[in-house]
Every structure is written in C-alpha cells, then in structure tokens.
C-alpha cells in the first residue's frame, strides 16, 4: 500500500476531503492532534477499527480512545453522562483530556477491548476537530506509532512507523503537548486517574475534589495484576536504548555519565558542561517544555545509536507527573538514587 502525506496547513480542503473519503470508506488515516498523532478510523465501523489494531500491532484487549468534535456527540456513545463529567467538559474540553464512562450499545467490544466502558476525548487541535467534523462520525484513534515504540509527535515519525501500512497521513506540523492525553475514569466514584497528561491532576482536583491516582501511574504493575487501564500493562514508550533514571544532583549525574561514557538525557543547557554525548529534553523547571520534547528525544537517542543512557529525573508536580510517568516506562522502571 502506498502511503500519501497531505499537509493540512497548506492544502486544507484537500486534506479534509481525502481524510473524509478514506475514513468513510472504512480506512485508517494518520491525523494530527495537540497531544500526539493518532491513527483514526470510524469508531462505529468494527471492520475499520480492526484495521487500526493490525496497522499498529496493538493487542486487541487494549481499548481505543474515541474522539469527538462537540459535546452533543458524547451522548449517543455512553450509557449516561455523570455530573462530574459535565463539569469537567464545561471547564476543560476541548483538551488533552480523556474521560471514561459506561458505554452505550453503539460502542463495539473491538473499540472497548471487551470492557463495559469507553474512553472519550474532544481534542483541542482545530485540525483534529475539523477532520472529525468532516467525517461526520466519532473517530477511534490510538497513538500513531507501532505498538511499544514512542508516540509520534510529527508526521515524519508517523511515516517512519506506518509507511506501507495505511493509505494517508495528514501532516499538521509538530504536536504542541507531545505526550498523550490525561485519562481519568468516571465509571467509579471518586474518579480514578489512569494516565497523567496535558490536563494536570492539580487542576482537576481543584475543580471536582478527590481523585484516586491509580497505582500503575507511578509504579510497575506486579506480574499477574489486573490493570485498570489495559494499556498500562504493556511495555510502552520504549526506545531501543537502555535507559536508567538517575535521582541525584547534576554534578553526581555528570560524573557518572562521563566516567562510564554513557549518553546523557538531560535538561536544556546542562549539555554545555558535559563531555559525553547528550540529548536534551526541555527546561528543568517547565514540565510542558519537557513533555513537548520527551518522545522526540527518545527517538533521537535511537537515531544516534545510543546504548547506555542515563536520564535526569523530572519533578513530578503539575505536567511533570506525565513526563515522569512516560520516562519510568521508557526506562523499564530502572531508577537509581545516588
Ligand atoms: P493510546 O490510544 O495509545 O493513547 O492509549 C489509550 C489508553 O487509554 C490506553 O492506555 C488504554 O488502555 C486506555 N483506555 C482506553 N479505553 C479505556 C477504558 N475503557 N478503560 C480503561 N482504560 C482505557
Ligand atoms: Mg499509545
């Protein structure tokens, strides 16, 4: 299969009409969002959704997020809309925020990975919402990487993974946020945070009160444990390089990297004083700057052939929680406190 790329910033109408044609025809299209690129298909067409799992190599018990363009699109997809979801949607949507609810019978088991719930997001990206609107149906869309590798934050990385596997990628430039959405479940009360992302735990707690943070956000699931969010049990976000997170001050980190001739994954500016190879992932004091860089940095480590990587540890407050959550998975939970 030949994979075409259309730039929506320069060919807006063509991008929308081709995405609409292919998706209404039951095909899978790579689309830009503000978090990461998605692999989108008509969420109400089971056969189309199955093609997403094939293109990604995704295990079938890992459910997909369903993307909508406006609040009215939510009602037919869920059994009921909890009051707290209305409050959250009013305040945050469109946003990097996915809310899980009991599903309606419109949502097939292929989308929900056999769960009785469904995950719904209204993306902030104008391009993403325009594509959903043009298609006239909700779009099931996981991240547009091959299963297990870092999520793609630009169309080139989607092409690297999906060339020959899908007919079309819509290029909307670099993703503003750079890590996947916050996932929070309202199928229970108090709600449970399953994955930290662009809408922070602090901001949500301020609005709706208590939120339980699922164990898998910060810890490795024990073998055999049941995951609240099936995606959390799979190896994820992992580059080929072997990464260890180092909890220490910068001097100790520098000495370790240089004495072992490792590759450093460090904050902006710190690389100036390192004599070993390095890749930077944003401002030390700005979680959003780190999230925008993290997955690109992981791909760059692979491109330069890095084997042994030591990573600086981000703060876990605000957006830092999402960055830390991805980095501990990229490292296979290898953390050294020095
Ligand atoms: P991705 O599509 O790669 O961003 O992954 C979506 C994440 O949301 C995965 O970790 C899924 O396991 C999780 N997810 C999607 N739907 C549900 C659901 N109904 N219940 C729990 N987790 C879900
Ligand atoms: Mg993913």
The ligand with the least distance to the CA atom of 35 is: 1
Residue owning the nearest CA to atom 12 of ligand 1: 231
115 lines ligand 1 (CB under 6 A): yes
Residue 150: nearest ligand to its CA?
2
Ligand 1 in reach of 52 Cβ (< 6 A): no
Tens-place pLDDT, residues 216-273? 999 887 777 777 877 766 656 778 899 999 999 999 999 999 999 999 999 999 999 9
- Residue 31 above 80 pLDDT? yes
Write out the chain in H/E/C secondary structure: CCCEEEECCCCHHHHHHHHHHHHHCCCCEEECCCCCCEEEEECCCHHHHHHHHHHHCCCCCCCCEEECCCHHHCHHHECCCCHHHHHHHHHHCCCCEEEEEEECCCCCHHHHCCCCEEEEECCCCHHHHHHHHHHCCCEECCECCCCCCCCCCCHHHHHHHHCCCCCEEEECCCCCCCCCCEEEECCCCCCEEEECCCCCHHHHHHHHCCCEECHHHCCCCCCCCCCCCHHHHCCCCCCCCEEEEEECCHHHHHHHHHHCCCEEEECCCHHHHCCCCEEECCCCCCHHHHHHHHHHHHHHHHHCCCCEEEEECCCCCCCHHHHHHHHHHHCCCCEEEC
Cβ(63) to ligand 1 under 6 A? yes
Pick the residue whose CA is nearest to atom 2 on ligand 1: 142
Domain limits, the chain:
4-182, 242-337
Q: Which atom of ligand 1 is nearest to the CA of 180?
A: 4
Average pLDDT value for residue range 162-167: 97
Q: Please, which residues have CB within 8 angstroms of residue 207's CB and are 6 or more apart in sequence?
A: 87, 88, 91
pLDDT in tens, 45-80: 999 999 999 999 988 889 999 999 999 999 999 999
User: Closest ligand 1 atom, CA of 38?
Assistant: 2
The CATH architecture that domain 4-182 belongs to is Alpha-Beta Complex (3.90)
Q: Domain 242-337 class?
A: alpha beta
Residue 225 pLDDT: 74
User: Higher pLDDT residue, 234 or 25?
Assistant: 25
pLDDT in the model for residue 177: 94
* pTM, 2 dp: 0.94
Mean pLDDT of the chain: 95
Q: What is the pLDDT of residue 233?
A: 65
Nearest CA to ligand 1 atom 22: 229
Which position has the token pair 């208590």?
Answer: 210
- Give the model confidence (pLDDT) of 268-314 as tens digits: 999 999 999 999 999 999 999 999 999 999 999 999 999 999 999 99
Residue nearest to ligand 1 atom 20, measured at CA: 229
Ligand nearest to the backbone CA of 98: 1
- Give yes or no for residue 183 CB within 6 A of ligand 1: yes
Q: How many Å lie between the centroid of ligand 1 and the Cα of residue 26?
A: 22
Identify the pLDDT of residue 235: 58
Higher pLDDT, 336 or 227: 336
pLDDT at 138 over 80: yes
Cα 155 to Cα 172: distance, rounded to the nearest angstrom: 7
């Amino acid at each position: 299969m030949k994979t075409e790329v259309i730039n929506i910033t320069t060919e807006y109408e063509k991008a929308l009409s081709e995405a609409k044609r292919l998706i209404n025809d039951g095909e899978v299209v790579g689309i830009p969002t503000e978090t990461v690129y998605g692999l989108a298909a008509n969420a109400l067409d089971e056969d189309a959704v199955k093609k997403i799992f094939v293109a990604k190599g995704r295990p079938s018990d890992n459910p997909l997020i369903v993307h909508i363009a406006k609040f009215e699109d939510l009602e037919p997809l869920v059994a009921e809309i909890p009051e707290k979801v209305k409050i959250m949607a009013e305040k945050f949507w469109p946003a990097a925020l996915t809310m899980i609810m009991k599903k309606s019978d419109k949502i097939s088991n292929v989308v929900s990975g056999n769960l009785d719930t469904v995950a719904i997001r209204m993306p902030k990206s104008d391009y993403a919402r325009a594509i959903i609107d043009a298609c006239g149906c909700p779009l099931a869309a996981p991240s547009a990487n091959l299963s297990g590798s870092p999520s793609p934050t630009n169309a080139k990385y989607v092409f690297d993974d999906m060339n020959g596997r899908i007919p079309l990628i819509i290029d909307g430039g670099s993703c503003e946020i750079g890590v996947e959405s916050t996932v929070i479940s309202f199928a229970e009360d108090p709600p449970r945070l399953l994955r930290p992302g662009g809408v922070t735990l602090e901001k949500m707690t301020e609005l709706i009160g208590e939120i339980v943070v699922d164990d898998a956000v910060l810890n490795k699931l024990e073998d055999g444990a049941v995951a609240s969010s099936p995606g959390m049990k799979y190896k994820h976000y992992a580059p080929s390089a072997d990464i260890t997170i180092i909890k220490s001050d910068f001097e100790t980190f520098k000495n370790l990297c240089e004495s072992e001739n490792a590759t450093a994954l460090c904050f902006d500016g710190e690389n100036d004083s390192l004599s070993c190879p390095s890749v930077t992932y944003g401002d030390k004091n700005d979680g959003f700057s780190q999230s925008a860089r993290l997955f690109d940095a992981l791909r760059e480590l692979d491109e330069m052939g890095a084997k042994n990587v030591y990573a600086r540890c981000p703060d876990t407050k605000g957006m830092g929680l999402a960055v830390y959550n991805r980095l501990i998975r990229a490292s296979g939970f290898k953390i050294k406190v020095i």
